[in-house]
Every structure is written in structure tokens, then in C-alpha cells.
Amino acid sequence: MDDRTLAATANTERMRSLRRRFLINGTAAVVGAAGTARAAAPLGAVEREVPADATKIQGYPLEDSSYGSRSQFETEVRTRFKTATPASSWTMTPLQNSIGIITPSGLHFERSHGGTAVIDPTKHMLYVHGMVKQPRKFTMADIRRFPSLSRIMFIECSGNGLTEWSKPTMKTVQGTHGLTSCSEWTGVPLATVLREAGLRTNAKWLLAEGGDASVMTRSIPMAKALKDCLVAYGQNGEALRPEQGYPLRLIVPGYEGNTHIKWLRRIEVSDTPFMTREETSKYTDLMPDGKAVQFSFEMDAKSVITSPSGEMQLDGPGFLEITGLAWSGRGAIRKVEVSTDGGATWKTAALQGPVLPICHTRFRLPWRWDGKAAILQSRCTDDTGYVQPTLGQLIAARGGALNGPIGSIYHLNAIQSWQVANDGKVSNVHHY
Amino acid sequence: MDDRTLAATANTERMRSLRRRFLINGTAAVVGAAGTARAAAPLGAVEREVPADATKIQGYPLEDSSYGSRSQFETEVRTRFKTATPASSWTMTPLQNSIGIITPSGLHFERSHGGTAVIDPTKHMLYVHGMVKQPRKFTMADIRRFPSLSRIMFIECSGNGLTEWSKPTMKTVQGTHGLTSCSEWTGVPLATVLREAGLRTNAKWLLAEGGDASVMTRSIPMAKALKDCLVAYGQNGEALRPEQGYPLRLIVPGYEGNTHIKWLRRIEVSDTPFMTREETSKYTDLMPDGKAVQFSFEMDAKSVITSPSGEMQLDGPGFLEITGLAWSGRGAIRKVEVSTDGGATWKTAALQGPVLPICHTRFRLPWRWDGKAAILQSRCTDDTGYVQPTLGQLIAARGGALNGPIGSIYHLNAIQSWQVANDGKVSNVHHY
């Protein structure tokens, strides 16, 4: 599957080259062919002439009305995993470039079963019905008039790392771990919306349904819905991005990504789960004995070193900062340990504050590379006391072979190993 | 100055209209005239066809390489204050649309004295010299190899609100308060960089110099430099935006925005401040007695209600959430009180966690509007015990008339008043 990343990189290079050709006097590229203009947009930059000395020439003026873009020198992109069709696919966040805990909205991973729906927010409705006292419908204006709250939280796809069960497959951390991203989400507590409708006795579950082409559905336990779910309209200080469910998505803190229903249009209250396709034929976890575990909602604690990571090239011996991300669907990260000798010895990394529950937590550890081969690993512990397992422990418990007849596909949260070769080249290996 | 906002709005509408005309089959607008394509970019959206029912048609497919953009239905923009030239000007964040605490990078306020410099990061250098043991120069790669840290912090221009001393001038909160924004900044402690050069005895100040056309400079006390300043390369999880000083800016937590030197290229260590133009003829505070206060670095505690705010129209009597932002350059916000009767009575608002030092803090208070005229105010207290003053108190202490011969121009942190009329129309008023 490595060729996907390579192809994407080559494609990016080609696009940049195309854009450069059309650079006109420091203004945005403007061209007569649809393909090229489309290609320029995803990189999110405006090409400008680069002076030899920026102190000797006036900078470009501020615009009367603007929504800024990134520098033309910044090129990291989400890359798509080459599923059969791009309308049911996923793209991955370039975690190798990540800094801090916030994921830029333009680089948040995407997963959809029917492409990205285009919805006019002035026409969008959220229906609440089923075992309620009074069925209700809400416009976006209705939703936004309720009291809101914001929380910085990660969302991780349960399929994050699914290629890595049997052998190290993806070359970069974008490929192995890029289905987790972290944003400041803003919305209305789902409890508030449900209270408006009034729950009947025995209301134990609800169905959340998306308004996209796949009409994606998942069942959520009512206890979770009332505890901390959000009907979210905001991401990183502005409206949700289209691919994150604009104008409305469900946030189910710490649960697997597919439960965070995007383009949310309907909530049906019931006394039992709905047993939709997404929770019967899909998103269950097949165990070694052939039985499937259903409703494995919570994302287990997980960590990964984002730098140095696969495909990076160390400059040479000397000081480096090892840094990465840790997160848990069950609460806050209590500890991250880092090993540079394949798990023989461990050192406790510093955690970047604030350490928030159900949120990416950045860890850092100074390291002096001696120029010899090394295997880098990180292992986190969350505030329930759960310790991130080795891949061996995970396979022993759940099986796990993507192409085998049985075994786990989802919820791979094993310790990741990056091998540093003598020449400083970093690569994805299995070591457990 | 109200016409600036109106003009910007009209301009935005015109641009959207232009873009619609060129919408071709749901793909990005592609046109043959430079002006139009330039006009489309600032809004940061790709125009797509809107289906009548998004469940009946495949959504748009995921791209192989992408950097996402916001929804075409979202139109808030930074607006420029119409200074004589757009190459020395400022744009303001649309706080009326703000949610949570993070400012989207594309909407972070801009302030520059010579336009936005375009700098190739592979050629950029940071020089450290003066009263050091060993002058040093660092490439961006050198800088990024040091241990980093990330902090979510606001930056506020000391000129935020300067139009509001004598009479209520700007119509919206974007105009009155839009020169503050909040991001997760990532960089290397300035102390680390200075340690590499080695400070000589009596090194008490430093000069930070930008590599833009204005070669902007400010003096920073060494105690502050060693305490918590950052040489920052990251903003909200990616590289700094160009208008925020790409590839490198100084972050001086809690100090007035102009000290956060952008396009940072030189640090000179000294035993005295440098008395540059920006800290003698400019960015001083003229007192009623005709003397000027120099080096008024710290931004005093301040708060503002962002919704409801100027130019908004309440739907009608009933429940509303009053929400806004509070911040202090001296630490964390301890308390925000809200009045709906022009300061006669106050209620304590809820603070959205995490409440971080030198960071926007969102406050919220439920309110039931009775349909009668009201005056909304917020008043914050920081963890030093400092209480945000009324405009009357501020004028008594510092004078303050933008066009008068003497009096304060900068550092207006008074309580803001929004008047709600009987018909629900909200407007900027002075009430103290």
C-alpha cells in the first residue's frame, strides 16, 4: 500500500510544478484549464513572487475582506487511501508534520461512505422522534440558540492502523496513524436537545442518522447521549468543515469515529439498539474464536512518536527531540514512556499541558542519538490505569490479520516501532 | 468609520455574486479574468452545486491530496480598517462569529507596517549577536531541532479599540475588539536560543527585528525574554501563516501585539533598551499631564460580549445565551460578571474550561430577554485581582481622545456596552 503515499507525493509535486508555471507577477495563478485550477486549490496557498530580500520591497498589502491561506512553501496534505471509489474512502492527517495538539481543519482526516454531502444550512433540519413525549424538529438557528459548549477533543477512526496487524505496511505515521485528528468542537449538549423532546420511560438507545448519500447510521446508548455528547456546529472557532459534517455532526467523546454521525439530520429514540448495517456487518470486532464483539465503542489508549517517524532522515548524531501524541477515549493521559532500545528500557516523557481528557496530548523527550541503529517506541497509560499493549498482546487477545479469515480489523492500538538505521533513515517495523 | 465595515460587507457580497456566475457543474469556479479568481480566494471556499436532497446524490469524492476549505455558505471575513495605504494597515477578526477560544488561522487579525513579507524558509536566518559570548546564526532547521513547546495564547494589538475613546464609533464587535485573536503557538523557548549564544554580564535588554519591509523593531526586557518568550514557527498545528510572520515570529506572552516581532531575523542583546521609533514616537501612552508612559507592555485584563453584539438582531423575547471572551496579559481570568441593566446589577458567568493563562477564555450566561430595552456589559477579573475598569475610570486615569491633542490612544480595555432596543436591535453605546 506504500505506493499510495508515493503516488500522492508525486501528484503533489506535479501540482506544485503546474502551479509554478502559471505564476503571474506575484498574484494568484489564473489559468484557462479547469484541471489546473482545481489542482491548485487543495494545497490552500496563494503563489506569490519571492523577493531576494523582503526588507527591500513592500510586502503584499492587506485585503479589505479576507480569509487567509497558508504559505506557498507549506505542502503537507491529507493523502487518500486508494479504496475502489473515492466516494467511499478516507484520507489521513500528515501527523509527521504535526506540532502541538490542534489539527488544522484543512488537514483533519476524512472518512465518508458516500462522499461529502453539500447541504444548505438554512434548509437543514434535525428531527428528534421515537420514544419521546413530543417529536421535534430544529433548524440550525434553533440549535444555535441553545446554550453551547466547546471542548478540544480527538476523533479517531476505529480503522486507524488496520493495515498494520500482520506486517509493517505503511511507510509513514500518516499511513499508520493518520486517522486521528484533534479540534476544538463547539455545539449543544445532546441532553439539551433530547430534553426539548422529552424522553419516555425505557428510552435506552438512540439512532443517529446522517443526511449524506450513505445515510450513515449508528446506535448510541442513552446513558452516553445524556452524559457528554454534543450536537456540534463548530470546529476550531468556525463552522464545521464540509467533510466533517457541515452544518451539524454528532460528537460522541471517546467513541470510535464512525459514531460521530456527520450531516446529522435525525435522532430516533428507542429501548434497544437498531442493529443497522454499520453495527452488524461492519464495525464489529471478530475474535479468534469466530465470535464478533459488537459495540466496541471506546477508543483504547494509544500513542505514537510523530518525529522521528517513518521515512524521515536524521541529520546525524547529536541532540534530537522525540515527540509524539497520546490519547485515550476513556479519559486523560497520565503517563507516556519512550524507549529508544526497542522496549528494553523506558524513560518518562514530558507531557505538554494542558492535559485534557479525550484529547491529543503531546509528549516530548530529549534524546542524543549516538549514530547507531535504534528502535523508538512510545507507550502510554491513561487515567483509568490502562497501559497501551504491545502488538503481540493485542494479537493474543483479539487475533488480527487483515486478510485472514478471522481476527480483528479495527481498534489496533498497539505500541508502534520506528527503526532508526545507522545512516539515520527511519522506517516502520514490527518489534514486539 | 462605520462605512468601512459596510463597504467590506458589500464587497464580500459582490465577490460571492461574481463567483456564483462562474460556477460550473459543481466544480471550482474557473475563470479567464485575474480579478475574479483573486476575488474568490480570500473567502476560502470552493463553490459546489447544492443538491435538493443530499441523500439522493453521491457526495463529492475525497481527493488524493488535499488541504480542505470551508463551506461556501460561510462568509465571515477579516475586514480592513481603511488606513491611507493597505501596506501599513490592519484587519480585524470577526469576533461576532467566534465560538470557543481558537481563532481560525484564516481569520486571525493582521497588523503590519510594510505589508506581508514573502520569505523562503530554506533561506531564512535568525542572527543573535550583541552582548553575547558567541554570536550565532540559525537556519529554520536549526531552530526546529531545539526542544519546542506549544501554548494556546491570545495576541492583542495595543490599538484594539482605539476608535472608542470619545464616542461609540465602530458598529460591530469586529470593529471594537477584533484586534485580538487566539491560537495554539508552537516554538522554541527564546531562553534556549539565547543560551546557545551565551549572555554576557549586564545583558538586560534585547532588540527583536523583523525581516519585512518596515524592518519592525522592539526592545524586550531580558527578564521577560528568559521567562516565557517563544521563537515560534507554528500556529494551530501547522506553520505560521504568512501574515503572522512566516516562517518565524517572536511570541511575548501577554505583551502588546507589536512586540511579537514577525518575520523575525535578528536579536541583538544589550544593557539598555534601544529606543527605536516604535517605542518612542509610537506605542507610548500619552497621559493627561502631557508626559508619555513608555514600555506599557502588558495587556490589561479585558472582556467583551461577542453575542449578542453590535448590529445583531434578536429574534424576539425568550431565552438567549450571552457569550463572550475575556483575557489578561498578566495571567488567567478568575471571574467574568455580566450585567443586563447597564451595570446596576451583575451575575457571574460560567467560564469555559480549560481556563488558561494569557488565553482567551469563553464565558457564558443564560438570559431570558423580556423584550424591553437593555444594556449588556461584561466585566472580568484576572488572577492578580485586577478588575476591568469602566471607560470613565480609564479616561480619568489616562485621558483619551483619539483626535484630541493629548490623551491615551492605546490600551483601551474598558467595559463595553451593547444596547438592546425594544425591537431587538443591538448597537454600540457608551454607558458609564
Tens digits of residue pLDDT in A299-353: 999 999 999 999 999 989 999 999 999 999 999 999 999 999 999 999 999 999 9
Cβ(B12)–Cβ(B20) below 8 Å: no
Q: Which residue of chain B is at minimal alpha-carbon distance from A61?
A: B87
Cβ-in-10-Å burial (0-12, 13-18, 19+) of A348 comes to: exposed
pLDDT digits (tens, 9 = 90+) for A19-34: 332 232 222 333 222 2
A289 reaches B (C-beta below 8 A): no
Q: Which residue of chain B is at minimal alpha-carbon distance from A73?
A: B120
> Under 8 Å CB-to-CB from A224, ≥6 apart: which residues?
A252, A255, A297
Cα separation, A346 vs A354, whole angstroms: 23
Q: What does the buried/exposed string (b/e) look like for B146-158 if buried means 16 or more CB atoms within 10 Å of the residue's CB?
A: bebbbbbbbbbbb
B141/A315 Cβ within 8 A: yes
Q: What is this structure's pTM?
A: 0.91
DSSP at B119: -
From chain B residues 102-161, the ones with a CB under 8 A of any chain A CB are: 102-108, 110, 112, 114-122, 141, 145-150
B44/A69 Cβ within 8 A: yes
Residue B35 has pLDDT above 60, yes or no: no
- Among candidates B71, B108, B237 on the partner chain, residue whose Cβ is nearest the Cβ of A246: B71
Cα separation, B282 vs B326, whole angstroms: 27
Closest-CA distance of chain B to residue A429, Å? 24
Cα separation, B76 vs B97, whole angstroms: 7
Closest-CA distance of chain B to residue A7, Å? 9
Residue to test with chain B: of A63, A88, A231, A264, most B Cβ within 10 A: A63
Closest-CA distance of chain B to residue A325, Å? 12
A323 reaches B (C-beta below 8 A): yes
pLDDT digits (tens, 9 = 90+) for A227-265: 999 999 999 999 999 999 999 999 999 999 999 999 999
Q: Which residues of B347-389 form beta strands (DSSP E)?
A: 347-348, 350-351, 361-369, 374-382
Residue B25 CA, distance from chain mean position: 38
A62/B99 Cβ within 8 A: no
Q: What's the ipTM?
A: 0.91
Residue B207 has pLDDT above 60, yes or no: yes
What per-residue confidence (pLDDT) applies to A27? Answer: 29
A48-51 long-range Cβ contacts below 8 angstroms, 24+ apart: A48/A72, A48/B118, A49/A23, A49/A25, A49/B118, A50/B118, A50/B119, A50/B120, A51/B118
DSSP, collapsed to helix, strand or coil, labels residue B155 as: strand
Cβ(B22)–Cβ(B30) below 8 Å: yes
Strands B125-130 and B264-270: parallel
Cβ(B413)–Cβ(B165) below 8 Å: no
- Among candidates B82, B97, B321 on the partner chain, residue whose Cβ is nearest the Cβ of A148: B321
A97 reaches B (C-beta below 8 A): yes
Torsion over CA: B34, B35, B39, B40 (sign): negative
Pick from A356, A274, A366: nearest CA to A321: A366
Average pLDDT of span B224-240: 98
Closest-CA distance of chain B to residue A103, Å? 5
Size of interface A-B (CB pairs under 8 A): 382
pLDDT digits (tens, 9 = 90+) for B400-428: 655 455 578 899 999 999 999 999 999 99
Q: What does the buried/exposed string (b/e) look like for A16-49 if buried means 16 or more CB atoms within 10 Å of the residue's CB?
A: bebbeebbeeebbbbbeeeebbebbbbbbbbbbe
Pick from A189, A188, A195: nearest CA to A269: A195
Q: Which residues of A touch B234 (CB under 8 A)?
A: 99-100
Strand A65-66: give its sheet, edge to edge.
A65-66, B78-81, B89-92, B110-112
Residue B17 has pLDDT above 70, yes or no: no
From chain A residues 403-422, the ones with a CB under 8 A of any chain B CB are: none
Per the structure block, which three cell numbers stand in for A131? 420514544
Closest-CA distance of chain B to residue A102, Å? 5
DSSP at B283: S
